[in-house]
Amino acid sequence: MSEIRLLVGLGNPGPEYSHTRHNAGFWLVEQFARQHGQTLQPEVKFFGHTARIQQGNLDLRLLLPMNFMNRSGQAVATMANFYKIAPEQILVAYDELDLPPGTAKLKTGGGTGGHNGIKDIVAQLGSPDFHRLRIGIGHPGDKSRVTGYVLGKAPAAEQQLMDDTITQACHSIKLLLEQGMTAAQQHLHSFKAQRE
């Protein structure tokens, strides 16, 4: 039984960003909320949209920070402090350039990988010890093209790979909550989205 009390999805607010690769974390948390019959609602004091899932022993808060990506930590730290949630009880889902579309990885702690949202969360929490769910979006091949790439929309085939992966990742979060990190990692890391 993993003691995850806060699931965070990273992205940028506003309709112009909603379908961009950088919002993969938002997509995952929104889907997880839907699967549990919840809708994320604006909550000004937490600088984001929130929901709560309570089932049996499970009491999980969901958060989409509505500051921009590089200010994500404010929402996460505010909510964590308010509910006395330790970094080790937080799972953050976000887009990962270094993984191809159709893959996702779960890990605990580690560096920021240059991800501005993760950098800010580490800074605001004062700890890198939270869990991460990295959703592969692929890399444009050149550093100078990264910004346009992450803020762009994926072609339909790539989007389908990411959607399939997010469905599997939601299942792995369920395993994480019920059976722990190892079961969740085994499920997620063995999954390979079917490329057409």
**Which listed residue (19, 22, 49, 131) is catalytic?**
22
Q: In this structure, are residues 141 and 98 in contact, taking their beta carbons and an 8 Å threshold?
A: no
> Does residue 22 have an active-site annotation?
yes
- 174's CB contacts (< 8 A; 6+ apart) are none
Locate all alpha helices (DSSP H) within 2-154, ordered by sequence: 24-35, 72-82, 116-125, 146-150
Nearest Cα to Cα of residue 25 among 74, 33, 155: 33
Q: In this structure, are residues 88 and 170 in contact, taking their beta carbons and an 8 Å threshold?
A: no
Check the annotation: does 70 bind a ligand: yes
Strand (E) or helix (H) holding 54: strand 48-55
Check the annotation: does 68 bind a ligand: yes
**Cβ burial 130-158 (10 Å sphere, 16+ → b, else e):** bbbbbbbbbbbeeeeeeeebbeeebeeeb
The one-letter amino acid at 81: N
* Binding site, annotated residues: 17, 68, 70, 116
Active site residues: 22
Residues placed in the known binding site for tRNA: 17, 68, 70, 116
